[in-house]
Amino acid sequence: MKYQKFNEEIIQLVGGKNNIQAVVHCMTRLRFTLKDRSKADTEKLKAMDGIIDVVSNNVAYQIIIGTHVNDIYKEMVEMLGLDPNAAEGQPKEKKNFIKAALDVVSESMTPILEPIICAGLLAAFLSIVSLTGIISPESPTYQILDALRTAVFYFLPIFMAMSCAKRLGASPYLAVALAATVLSEQINGVEGLSVFGIPLPQITYANSFIPILLAVWFMGYVTKFVKKIVPNALQYFLSPLLIMLITLPATLIVFGPLGFYVGEGIIGFFNFLMNTIGSWFVMMLYSALQPFIIMLGAGNFIMPVVATMIASNGYDPAFISSCTISDIAVGGAMLGYFLRARKSQQKQLFGTVTLSAILGVTEPAIYGVFVKFRRPFIAVMIGGGLGGLFAGLTGVKAYSVAWGLFGLPSYIGQGDFKNLWLMVTSVIISFVASAIASYMLGIPSEDEDRTDQHETSTKTVGDSSLRSLPLGNVVSGEIIQLADVKDQAFSTGALGKGIGIVPVNNEIYSPVEGGVTVVFPTKHALGIKDVNGVELLIHIGIDTVELEGKYFELFIKQGDHVKKGQKIANVNFEKIKEAGYDPTTIIVITNTNAFLDVLPTQNKTVSMDDLLLNIVF
């Protein structure tokens, strides 16, 4: 644990584990409910490195740490043996069943992409060395290397079991034991089996993931049930045995066949789609829209489909090829911007993200450029769509999971050079078309004007000309200088320079354009990072974390992109005051040290047309 020693010292100085009744956190501090506050050594806590201040009031015993408190809190509750959800007093979020299932699949696939990609690139390497005669396919060296490639997919259920077990509340070791059992030669693909007299269908578990995913999901519920009925003294001995005795037969009778038929259904659906409409449509659509899919956080949702298709057909007729075509199109769009840009800083940015996109890593381009300038999305839709259309019409196949330039050799397959050249042609089309489209669309003038305005807005101080960035207002009201705010974490300036406002209406607006970096579950605080790198914390009210979201209505969530002046929340400040809380809304620049100064407005009151802060750099 990164903060283990830090947390150990805090626990000791608040009176030990037995003195802690509960602990929660907000944006900047840990809030302890102590059985006996007199046991806490406040002065020693204040003297600790990493602690800004300690505040003891009617609300809680509060240790002010900073905006990284969430990481400290996670380790703290684990050390104390507490349930984070119960400790925070937050009900678990109820998700739509389909969304929850897709989240589990996506999150489980992410950790095992590493061996899958390794196997894909190894397949490409073996294709090249065998075709050039460097290594014969019959040689022991080739057979050993090929064993690594085939093993990754054959033992896919074991990788999946290990990846998803904790997420689904099961023991990773028992989950792996279950996966290894169904892959054994006594079960995998064997005909005529029965358990407790119940005949079992012939199921091949190798190269699959859905049966074991369903089985581990069931194992999670069995684990909770068994731990409730088995006495603590016998947990170590009896629990694993009972869990396996229940889960293994259920897997063979129910979840194995169910998962097998679900997998067959997935293959059947996409085969039907490609046989009726055509693979060209699927590839064109996905190649054009992949950047949007990545922005939605659903970039890995196709991996289970791809794994199933490769296991069933020996190749993927649509998605991996589309991923590569789209990635190269992103690189082409960034090259167009690189050629169009006039400023050295922009050229450096566009050049860097061009290279990473071509190599198959598009997130820097999408989040660093696409979100801000928007027009590259159109360029990729044009270039990626054309490349995907060509690949679909010519029947390009991906024989393994490998994308980007380094993955192109894997399209050779078993000597299928025609497939390789068709894929190379597809990515050239996508790259060139995207580059031309982005160059012709140009860098939006409004973004250049905004950048120019920020770079040329100056304040003269003595003989120096300093650039400044004005920030808009958050809420109309009466100005309070930060030093007068009744919260030491803010008034001391420890969290950064800023300002306070006593609101006169209930609407909260974004003072900048940027990305929402954090939204606290109780809705009383949120962070925004603007397009110039300014990091803001908007803290609505003092100690309002105790309201647990009551009287707050947010219109944004973490990851959203907001415009300057966009309405982001409604807050019933009258109800907050009636509940006994200070409604002062605080705005601080948490990365103040990155700038020369942060200058608050000198107005006594502000409306939504006024500027709130000036960032000098």
pLDDT of residue 84: 52
Domains of the chain, residue spans? 4-88, 101-277, 281-299+313-447, 458-616
Span of 148-152, 197-201, 421-425 with lowest mean pLDDT:
148-152
- Whether the CB-CB separation of 15 and 56 falls below 8 Å is answered with no
Q: What is the mean pLDDT of residues 250-271?
A: 83
Span of 43-52, 137-146, 364-373, 420-429 with lowest mean pLDDT:
364-373
pLDDT of residue 90: 40
Helix (H) or strand (E) holding 288: helix 279-295
Q: What is the mean pLDDT of residues 383-390?
A: 93
Residue 526's DSSP bridge partners are 519, 538
Distance, CA of 10 to chain centre: 31
End-to-end CA distance of the chain: 37
Query: Where do the DSSP E strands lie in 353-404?
Result: none
User: Is residue 512's pLDDT more than 50?
Assistant: yes
Tens digit of pLDDT for each residue in 419-443? 889 999 999 999 999 999 999 988 8
Q: pLDDT-based confidence at 464, cuts 50/70/90?
A: very low
Tens digit of pLDDT for each residue in 108-125? 776 777 787 787 778 778
* Rounded percentage of the chain residues whose pLDDT exceeds 90: 27
Q: State how far the Cα of 367 lies from the Cα of 515, in Å rounded to an integer.
A: 10
Per-residue CA distances from 284 to 63, 272, 278, 290, 390 (Å): 55, 17, 10, 10, 8
Q: State how far the Cα of 609 lies from the Cα of 312, in Å rounded to an integer.
A: 62
Q: Does residue 578 or residue 313 have the better pLDDT?
A: 578
Q: pLDDT-based confidence at 300, cuts 50/70/90?
A: low
User: Is residue 383's pLDDT more than 80?
Assistant: yes
User: Is residue 201's pLDDT more than 50?
Assistant: yes
Q: Does residue 325 or residue 24 have the better pLDDT?
A: 325
User: Is residue 510's pLDDT more than 90?
Assistant: yes
pLDDT of residue 364: 65
Q: Does residue 309 or residue 577 have the better pLDDT?
A: 577
pLDDT of residue 64: 75
- Whether the CB-CB separation of 192 and 243 falls below 8 Å is answered with no
pLDDT of residue 306: 78
- Output the average pLDDT for the chain: 81
Alpha helix segments (H runs only) across 341-374? 344-358, 363-365, 371-373
Span of 172-176, 546-550, 553-557 with lowest mean pLDDT:
546-550
Q: Whats the size of the chain, residue-wise? A: 617
Tens digit of pLDDT for each residue in 340-364? 888 776 777 788 778 878 877 776 6
pLDDT of residue 164: 86
Please choose, from the candidates 321, 369, 371, the residue with its C-alpha nearest in 3D space to the C-alpha of residue 348.
Answer: 369
Q: Residue 343 contacts by C-beta under 8 Å, 6 or more apart in sequence?
A: none
Q: Does residue 266 or residue 94 have the better pLDDT?
A: 266
Q: State how far the Cα of 610 lies from the Cα of 608, in Å rounded to an integer.
A: 6
Q: How many CB atoms lie within 10 A of CB 344?
A: 8
DSSP one-letter string for 404-424: SGGGGGGGGTTT-HHHHHHHH
User: Is residue 13's pLDDT more than 80?
Assistant: yes
3.30.465.10, 2.70.70.10, 1.25.40.10, 3.40.50.300: CATH of 458-616: 2.70.70.10
User: Is residue 32's pLDDT more than 70?
Assistant: yes
Q: How many CB atoms lie within 10 A of CB 47?
A: 11
Q: What is the mean pLDDT of residues 278-300?
A: 76
Residue 567's DSSP bridge partners are 509
User: Is residue 449's pLDDT more than 50?
Assistant: no
Q: pLDDT-based confidence at 58, cuts 50/70/90?
A: low
pLDDT of residue 477: 92
Only one residue has tokens 């999670």, namely 220
Structure tokens at 468: 């400044």
Q: State how far the Cα of 371 lies from the Cα of 417, in Å rounded to an integer.
A: 38
User: Is residue 68's pLDDT more than 80?
Assistant: no
- Whether the CB-CB separation of 29 and 63 falls below 8 Å is answered with yes
pLDDT of residue 458: 37
Span of 48-57, 169-178, 344-353, 455-464 with lowest mean pLDDT:
455-464
User: Is residue 494's pLDDT more than 80?
Assistant: no
Helix (H) or strand (E) holding 75: helix 69-80
Q: What is the mean pLDDT of residues 306-323?
A: 79
Residue type, 149: R
Please choose, from the candidates 262, 296, 255, the residue with its C-alpha nearest in 3D space to the C-alpha of residue 99.
Answer: 296
Q: Residue 164 contacts by C-beta under 8 Å, 6 or more apart in sequence?
A: 104, 107, 108, 175, 213, 216, 217
Tens digit of pLDDT for each residue in 218-251? 999 999 999 889 887 788 888 999 999 999 999 9
pLDDT of residue 570: 93
Tell me, yes or no, if 118 is annotated catalytic.
no
* Rounded percentage of the chain residues whose pLDDT exceeds 70: 86
Most confident of 9-18, 290-299, 525-534: 9-18
Q: What is the mean pLDDT of residues 398-409?
A: 78
The region, left, alpha or beta by phi > 0 then psi within -120 to 50, assigned to residue 314 is: left
Per-residue CA distances from 228 to 247, 411, 467 (Å): 16, 52, 64
DSSP one-letter string for 104-119: HHHHHHHHHHHHHHHH
Q: pLDDT-based confidence at 333, cuts 50/70/90?
A: very high
Q: What is the pTM of this model?
A: 0.50
Q: Is 389 helix (H, G, I), strand (E, B) or coil?
A: helix
Q: Does residue 596 or residue 177 have the better pLDDT?
A: 177
Active-site pick, 26, 118, 164, 323:
26
Structure tokens at 32: 């302890």
Span of 167-171, 475-479, 613-617 with lowest mean pLDDT:
613-617
DSSP one-letter string for 289-304: HHHHHHHTT-TTTTHH
Q: What is the CATH number assigned to the segment(s) 4-88?
A: 3.30.1360.60
